[in-house]
Structure 1
Amino acid sequence: MSYQSENVRPYNSPESKKKQVQHMFDEIAPTYDKLNRFMSLGIDNSWRRDAIQKLEPLHPESILDIATGTGDFAILAQKILRPQSIVGIDISDKMMAIGEQKVERLGLSGVIRFENQDCTALTFPENHFDAATVAFGVRNFEDIDAGFTEIRRVLKPGGRFVFLELTTPERFPMKQLYGIYSKYLIPFMGRLMSTDKQAYEYLPASIKAFPQGDRMVKTLEKNGFVNVRLKRYTGGVCTLYIAEK
């Protein structure tokens, strides 16, 4: 099955979505953390923390952080859950290079490591990780079904998959406020603070096209996950999805 978000790409180019997303994140890597915090007003920290806390009952020893970027989610997971190992994977080497610097400064190089891997073709064996996480990366997948199939494959039986994604609010007044924010403010701030203006035009377009709410729950179930549920934050601006193998 093809999803609309898989056809939304950062650039007007014949390259695959994977190649375009890789190029986009390599370009915005130096300003990504600063701009991300600015655009979310820091609220994303509370979303991330709550998502990771949903893994606490499992006491995971091994975690796979997909689309890890500069490693913030992996670092927070280590702080809260204290697993033995976290592998952060991404297709952008420049984003992960920043993450590696953070991890080294924090003295966590023995716990968190980074690898360039495509989530649709993971090199890990089956039943390998206790948990898998993604923070705001699933809408960038070139093939959502293939990504979910691989994530489920490498999870141990009973393992948990949690991911956060920006979503479109459905109710007044957040729906109207978010419409103004995504149409005008996100592209404006991207143009102001980033060298890649198209990246922050792609952001609201990819959010709008992404399968949300019950559609995403059904997508996870279709790909073999069970006990799927969701939690909305800040009037529906962000949604947490929780699923198990």
Structure 2
Amino acid sequence: MGSFRPGDPEQVQALFEQIAPRYDQLNDLLSLGQHRLWKRQAIAWLRPRPGQTLLDLCCGTGDLALVMAAKVRPDGHVIGLDAAAAPLQLAARRAARQPWLPLQWRQADALATGLETGLADGVAMAYGLRNLADPMAGLAEVRRLLRPGGRAAVLDFNRLDGDTRRGRITAAVQRLCLRGVVVPAATLAGLRQHYTYLEASLERFPTGAEQVRLARRLGFSQARHRPLAGGLMGLLELEA
């Protein structure tokens, strides 16, 4: 199998269709379970409350949506949206074990969700913005979906600024982790090309500072990018 091309919607969708059965297991293994903590920090920024409508864009297998749904019940609602069918099927099976959670799953492109403008009190996106054909268009869709004062949390790998010494050092550590740990572990699972894609996708991803500038241009009233995991990950915190 050849390499997956970042920014190509069909190839990115195919990648996630193929890795879905091993995705959660590899996330736990490769982050030593820390990805759950980072996602909870994203949820903490959203401040979910009972009765709210929340969206999880690029929801994958639904772990973020499940946590949010528990916080907005009984009168709230969470919609998990993803372009790939296989992760959504896994998400639906997980949700079926907690049928009291107010959840809905929807297959759609995060750049064209088809959802109502101003629908959401909060929007989460974990490891999705980097994979979109146009990250700025993705942020624009997030802005469209939020009601005034609504919040968004965008969690992803952090593309480091190579203009500073600290940025260069952290970027070198990030490359070492990807090439020396992530790709070899994925290779054992038969997913080498799927995870070499990570480094390639980072090359076209805006830095944290660039994400903040894009968000402000799109009309967000508040935008802050917060490094996590020593700068290897980043959380973009937005308010409409």
Q: Scaled by the length of structure 2, what TM-score is found? A: 0.89
Matches within 5 A, 1:53-92: 53-56=44-47, 61-82=52-73, 84-92=76-84
Q: Which residue of 2 aligns with 1:163?
A: 154
Structure 2 counterpart of 1:23: 14
User: How much does 1:175 deviate?
Assistant: 4.3
- 1:107 match: 99
Amino acid at match of 2:232: V
Quick one: structure 1 residues 243 and 233, their matched pair in 2 at CA, closer, same or farther if it must change by over 3 Å? same
Distance 1:104 1:58 in 2: 22
Question: Cα offset for 1:145?
Answer: 2.1
Corresponding residue number in structure 2 for 1:185: 181
Summarize the Cα distance change of 1:166–1:230 in structure 2 as closer, same or farther, 3 Å threshold: same
The answer to whether the 8 A contact 1:133-1:163 is kept is: yes
Unaligned runs of 5+ in 2: none
Correspondence for 2:219: 224
Give the deviation of 1:197 after TM superposition.
2.3
| 2: CA distance, partners of 1:55 / 1:240 | 12
1:11 is matched by which residue type in structure 2? F
Conserved in 1, the CA contact under 8 Å of 2:8 and 2:133? yes
CA-CA distance at 1:56 after TM superposition: 1.6
Farther off after superposition, 85-94 or 176-185: 176-185
* Displacement of 1:177: 3.0
Does residue 229 of structure 2 align to residue 234 of structure 1?
Answer: yes
Shift of 1:61: 0.5
Which amino acid in the other structure matches residue 196 of structure 2?
E
More deviation, 90-99/150-159? 150-159
Q: Equivalents in 2 of 1:178, 1:149: separation in Å? A: 28
Paired residue for 1:5? Answer: none
Report % sequence identity: 30
1:167 touches 1:208 (CA, 8 Å); kept in 2?
A: no
Distance 1:214 1:12, change over 3 A: closer
**Aligned partners of 1:204, 1:78: CA distance in 2, in Å?**
32
Report the CA distance shift for 1:231/1:124 in structure 2 as closer, same or farther (over 3 A): same
Measure the CA separation in 2 of the matches of 1:214 and 1:168: 10
Q: Which amino acid aligns with 2:141?
A: E
- Listed one character per residue, the Cα deviations across residues 126-157 of structure 1 (whole Å, up to 9, x for unaligned) are 11111111011100011222222222112111
Q: Distance in 2 between matches of 1:191 and 1:159?
A: 41
Structure 1: any 5+ residue segments left out of the alignment? Answer: 1-8
Contact 1:56/1:81, CA 8 A, preserved across alignment? no
Count matched residues: 233
Tell me how far 1:176 sits from its aligned partner: 3.9
Cα distance per residue 1:142-187 (max 9 Å; x no partner): 1222222222112111111111011145638654432311122211
Q: Deviations over 1:19-52 (max 9, x none)?
A: 0011111111111110111111111111111110
Q: 1:207 to 1:59 in 2, by over 3 A?
A: farther
Q: Is the 8 A contact 2:160 2:207 kept in 1?
A: no
Q: Does 2:127 align with 1:146?
A: no
Aligned match of 1:4: none
- The residue aligned with 1:200 is 195
Q: Secondary structure at the match of 1:209?
A: coil
- Provide the aligned C-alpha RMSD in A: 2.3
Separation in 2 of the partners of 1:65 and 1:174?
A: 29
CA distance in 1, matches of 2:173, 2:5: 29
Once structures 1 and 2 are overlaid, which stretch shifts more, 168-177 or 178-187? Answer: 168-177
